[in-house]
Amino acid sequence: MLADQLKRIVDETPGAVGVILMGFDGIAVMQHMNEAFGERDLESIAMEMSFRFMELRKAAEALDLGPISDITVKAKSGTILCRVLSDEYFVCALLDDAAHFGKGRWILRSAAASLTEDL
Amino acid sequence: MLADQLKRIVDETPGAVGVILMGFDGIAVMQHMNEAFGERDLESIAMEMSFRFMELRKAAEALDLGPISDITVKAKSGTILCRVLSDEYFVCALLDDAAHFGKGRWILRSAAASLTEDL
């Protein structure tokens, strides 16, 4: 189940505020938030990332970089990890603490195959 | 010297194709390339990243994420690491192999203070 998978990603990643599955059109499929971190608007963050993804994809092609698989953005109040699942979907996690960035990236990558199956 | 510092970043990062120092206006200050990787247009890649940085900075403010310090993009034929140096400048490294991503990020971060001094 998609909901269980998203919950597991949040549970297993230290400092994970939440995770969201979204289409590159900016429309959210499902999200799971860690209530301990209070209200965070992950949907708006992921939507912003979906726009940047679309632009970067076009640019990467022109620059001979090939398809993009991951984008990460580290900001003062959160680290955003995005992983492409297919031509249409990506998964985006928000971490409160960049210390577990590597683990979060690894968990998203491991979950990518089974998330794709459930789409 | 800026040129020595850029060379050192490339030399110390396994798989580093090159590194460039650029203004957020998309104008390059200086770059150092590892000749072993042949011709790669790092200036165009960094210019593209400078545009995305400007957009993400505005968005991050609106989304309560605060200032952005790092953006990384992993594509099939290269991994791009960008680190903000100041309000005006950032440094961007292109890695051929994502395996040394963590080391590259650490080296950029360590070099940030002394690069800023030389600006």
How distant is the alpha carbon of residue A102 from its chain centre? 14
CA distance A85 to A109: 9
Query: For residue A91, what pLDDT is reported?
Result: 95
pLDDT band, residue A38 (cuts 50/70/90):
confident
Please give the mean pLDDT across all residues of chain B: 90
Q: Give B5-26 pLDDT, tens digit per residue.
A: 999 999 999 999 999 999 999 9
Nearest CA in chain B to A66: B76
| DSSP code for B35 | G
Query: For residue A104, what pLDDT is reported?
Result: 86
Rg (CA), chain B: 13
Among A67, A95, A92, residue whose Cα is nearest residue A79: A95
Q: Percentage of chain B surpassing pLDDT 70?
A: 100
Nearest CA in chain B to A47: B59
CA distance B97 to A57: 19
The whole model's pTM is what?
Answer: 0.89
B63 touches chain A (CB under 8 A): yes
Q: How far is CA A99 from CA A102, A104, B6, B65, in A?
A: 8, 10, 26, 16
Note whether A76 contacts B59, CB cutoff 8 Å: no
Nearest chain B CA: its distance from A48 CA (Å): 7
A63 touches chain B (CB under 8 A): yes
pLDDT, mean of residues A16-35: 94
Of B41, B72, B74, the CB nearest to A63: B41
Query: For residue A98, what pLDDT is reported?
Result: 73
Secondary structure in 3-state letters for B40-75: CCHHHHHHHHHHHHHHHHHHHHHCCCCCEEEEEEEE
Q: Give B67-109 pLDDT, tens digit per residue.
A: 999 999 999 999 999 999 998 999 999 999 777 778 888 888 8
B102 touches chain A (CB under 8 A): yes
CB B67 within 8 A of CB B41: no
B76 touches chain A (CB under 8 A): yes
CB A23 within 8 A of CB A119: no
Q: How far is CA B98 from CA A119, B47, B87, in A?
A: 28, 21, 28
Query: For residue B3, what pLDDT is reported?
Result: 92
pLDDT, mean of residues A20-37: 94
- The residues near B28 (Cβ < 8 Å, ≥ 6 apart) are B20, B21, B22, B43, B46, B47
Of B56, B64, B73, the CB nearest to A77: B64
Please determine, for the modelled complex, whether the ipTM score is greater than 0.85. yes
pLDDT band, residue A1 (cuts 50/70/90):
confident
CB A52 within 8 A of CB A70: no
- The residues near B115 (Cβ < 8 Å, ≥ 6 apart) are B2, B5, B21, B85, B91
Query: For residue B115, what pLDDT is reported?
Result: 87
Nearest CA in chain A to B73: A71
Query: For residue B37, what pLDDT is reported?
Result: 87
A54 touches chain B (CB under 8 A): no
Q: Classify residue A22 as exposed, middle or buried by CB count within 10 Å of its CB (0-12, 13-18, 19+).
A: buried
CB A49 within 8 A of CB A92: yes
Instruction: Kindly tell me if the per-residue pLDDT of B114 is higher than 90.
Output: no
Instruction: Kindly tell me if the per-residue pLDDT of A99 is higher than 80.
Output: no
Q: Classify residue B23 as exposed, middle or buried by CB count within 10 Å of its CB (0-12, 13-18, 19+).
A: middle
